[in-house]
Amino acid sequence: MFIKPKIVMLFILLMLLTVNTSLAAEQTAPGSLSSDMFERDAKCASCHGIIHSQWEGGMHSLAEIDPFYKKEAEMASKETDGLTDTYCARCHTPIGVVSGELPPVDGSKLSDIAKRGVQCDFCHTVSDSAGIGNAPFILTPGETKWGPFKDSNSPYHFTEFSDLHTKSEFCGMCHDVSHPTNGLMLEATYTEWKEGPYSKEGVQCQDCHMTPGITKYEANPGKAASMGPKRDHIYTHYAVGANAFITDFLGDDTHRDMAIERLQSAATLVVDAPRSAEAGDTVTVDISITNSGAGHMLPTGLTDMREMWLDVTATDGDGNKFYHYGALDEDKNIDPDTLVYHTVLGDADGNPTSKVWLAESVISDHRISPRETAVEQHTFTIPADANDPVIISAKLQYRSAPQAIIDYLFDEGTYIVPVIIMAQASDSINSPDSDTNSDSDKGVQTEPTTESTPGFEAFGLAGVLVISAMFVHRKRRV
Ligand code: HEC
Ligand code: HEC
Ligand code: HEC
Ligand code: HEC
Ligand code: HEC
């Protein structure tokens, strides 16, 4: 029989198309698996003890029981008639969602294993991904564990090399969050990384977040399993970012202290004041903040909640403070005239909202891109009776959430959100040993300073300017 070449071509094309569709991966659907298909983390701990102890108490292990998350997820569920239930939980308790144990959103039907958040046998039975954002993972629970080794042998399970696990795209499944109905980007850590310099240099999330290096890859020689071979590098599992709040009371000191250390590796601060000035002069001081250590924006993640800001003081030679910017009041609210580095989301009417499920736009986005510098200009008048030298001190501070929101969600006084000093620097005017410039120092303030200096503030004339390209209005649709 004679077959026309055109028909052969069509046939080949059709074949290719069918192959393609069958390859187009589908994310694991809610309720399509059961929780007893997954293994408890305690089982993995029997051979992977070190890795387990790193994971335990970190934010991945706490992702479902985190009270801040739970309160917000329950409020979202109530206000959307349950529309957000599996959406939120897909990242915070993936096993709970694929097993159909959630809803209800209160977690009352969750098995013990699902309560363990983002855990061993979730991440290591991810066999593929259908993309980036809103958790499009493909799970194949069972005897095979996917991981970074090509030569791994375990007496307990099969092992399979997974390139995905060694790349930011693995993290990007959950660390890019867009609104489920209008597509607005709510968290964009992966995209910030992808668009920034680190992705171009091939530096992955894992290089900073799963090695002792904090801001760069650093080898961690050891064993992946007690009976495994010694290897040049084992990835750590602390999952430490900036959360020194929840880790303080649900995790342990290790994770809290590591979060503080990471925050203190993220930025550099320089204060640049004029060398000399007369009492009564109005002077301008430049304070620059450089995102020197984070592979994404500073801050990143849930940035409508996170707060980063400068606390700046100017004192004269007798220790009288005549300028104070960025102070907290007695309710621990940041002075409203302060520039806060974060995002403000807007609801349908364009009013600011702290409820991500109501968000339809980004009203403002003041953050610092990786390796970029923001410069604030502080202008004040030196009091006529001030003695030399004038010292200008700046502290870069971080808080996981505004205290007012935590007080609103929980009974007031239940949780105090710690203020972390990321960096400190100072400079002086009319100093005898002239060239003192910006000594850096760091620390934690568990009890924020609320002192005010009545009378003296009247001399201050604050003007703040951010020079970097930061007033970005992001509105993306998927
Ligand atoms: C009886 C001991 C034992 C138990 C239990 C065990 N493992 Fe392993 N696992 C090993 C050994 C040994 C290796 C090989 C280590 C190496 O190659 O360096 C390994 C390797 C791995 C790897 C690396 C695979 C690769 O190819 O990169 C992953 C991932 C892993 N295990 C996950 C798990 C998870 C998740 C659990 C719990 C569900 C678990 N293991 C339980 C012994 C065990
Ligand atoms: C958020 C997902 C995630 C969770 C949760 C997780 N892992 Fe991993 N694990 C990874 C990734 C990603 C790598 C590989 C990193 C790379 O190669 O860049 C890895 C690597 C490993 C390896 C290979 C050795 C190493 O560390 O490089 C073992 C073994 C392992 N994990 C076991 C576990 C066990 C046991 C648990 C639970 C205590 C666990 N993992 C929890 C994502 C996860
Ligand atoms: C299943 C979704 C999922 C995957 C995959 C995932 N994460 Fe997460 N991760 C989360 C959730 C949810 C939280 C927040 C938990 C909370 O705050 O209650 C989190 C928290 C974190 C934190 C702590 C943030 C802080 O504020 O301290 C870091 C760091 C982190 N993840 C890094 C990673 C890296 C690196 C990878 C890739 C190797 C990864 N994650 C993969 C869901 C995921
Ligand atoms: C060059 C090193 C580096 C790389 C690469 C990097 N990070 Fe980070 N990350 C940091 C530092 C430093 C911090 C602490 C400062 C901050 O909060 O941004 C941090 C903080 C975080 C936080 C907590 C943010 C907050 O304030 O709640 C999350 C979540 C996170 N990183 C996830 C990721 C993910 C996901 C990737 C990859 C897409 C990634 N990081 C790539 C260094 C890095
Ligand atoms: C695509 C994955 C994903 C989805 C969907 C998601 N989250 Fe998250 N959530 C995360 C990650 C990742 C973090 C950590 C980011 C950071 O540290 O800033 C986080 C952090 C949080 C935090 C901060 C917890 C803390 O301790 O600081 C709250 C609250 C939260 N999410 C609530 C929600 C609610 C409510 C929903 C649904 C309306 C939701 N999340 C949907 C991934 C997700």
Given the CA of residue 150, which atom of ligand 1 is nearest to it? Answer: 26
* Residue nearest atom 38 in ligand 4 by C-alpha distance: 190
What's the CA-to-centroid distance between 386 and ligand 3, angstroms? 50
Q: Which atom of ligand 5 is nearest to the CA of 177?
A: 1
Whole-number Å distance between alpha carbons of 51 and 148:
14
Nearest C-alpha neighbor of 190 from the set 111, 132, 122, 112: 132
Query: Could you tell me the pTM of the whole model?
Result: 0.92
Query: Burial of 412 by CB count in 10 Å (0-12 exposed, 13-18 middle, 19+ buried)?
Result: exposed
Cα dihedral 336/341/347/350 (nearest 10) = 70
CA distances, 409 to each of 156, 186, 346 (Å):
45, 20, 20
- Determine the atom of ligand 5 nearest the C-alpha atom of 246: 26
CA of 465 to the centre of ligand 5 (A): 31
Is 417 close to ligand 4, i.e. is its CB under 6 Å away? no
Which positions of the chain have pLDDT values less than 50? Answer: 1-3, 5, 7-23, 436-478
The pLDDT tens digits for 275-316 are 999 999 999 999 999 999 999 999 999 999 999 999 999 999
Identify the pLDDT of residue 478. Answer: 26
CA neighbor of 343 nearest in space, from 466, 473, 242, 469: 473
**Residue nearest to ligand 5 atom 31, measured at CA:** 69
Looking at residue 167, its amino acid is K
pLDDT digits (tens, 9 = 90+) for 170-225: 999 999 999 999 999 999 999 999 999 999 999 999 999 999 999 999 999 999 99
Residue nearest to atom 22 of ligand 5 (CA): 69
Name the amino acid, one letter, at 227. Answer: M
**220 Cα to the center of ligand 1, angstroms:** 18
Mutate which of 60, 62, 72, 175 for ligand 5 pocket (most atoms within 8 A of beta carbon): 72
Q: Distance between CA 250 and CA 256 in Å, rounded?
A: 10
Ligand 5 first shell, C-beta below 6 A: 66, 68-69, 72-73, 76, 84, 87-88, 90-92, 134-135, 174-175, 177, 187, 241, 243, 246, 301-302, 356-357, 400
Residue nearest to atom 23 of ligand 3 (CA): 241
- Which fold, 266-459? Immunoglobulin-like (2.60.40)
Residues enclosing ligand 3, CB less than 6 A?
Answer: 59-60, 62-63, 66, 69, 91-92, 94, 118, 135, 170-171, 173-175, 205-206, 209, 239-243, 259, 301
413: its two tokens: 């006084």
Q: Which of 70, 91, 134, 245 has most ligand 5 atoms within 8 Å of CB, for mutation?
A: 91
Note the pLDDT of residue 25.
80
Number of the ligand 5 atom closest to the C-alpha atom of 245: 26
Kindly list the distances between the CA atom of residue 220 and the CA atoms of 207, 235, 237, 400, 438, in Å, as whole numbers in the listed order. Answer: 11, 7, 12, 29, 33
DSSP E strands in 212-334: the ranges are: 222-223, 230-231, 267-272, 282-291, 307-315, 321-325
Query: Which atom of ligand 4 approaches the CA of 194 most closely?
Result: 38
If you measure from the C-alpha of residue 173 to the centroid of ligand 1, how many angstroms do you get, rounded to a whole number?
Answer: 23
* Other CB atoms within 10 Å distance of the CB of residue 21: 8
What pLDDT is stored for residue 470 in this prediction?
33
Give the distance (Å) from ligand 2 centre to CA of residue 59. Answer: 14
Distance from the alpha carbon of residue 242 to the mean position of ligand 5, in angstroms = 14
All structural domains of the chain with their residue ranges: 30-246, 266-459
CA–CA gap between residue 286 and residue 375 (Å, rounded): 6
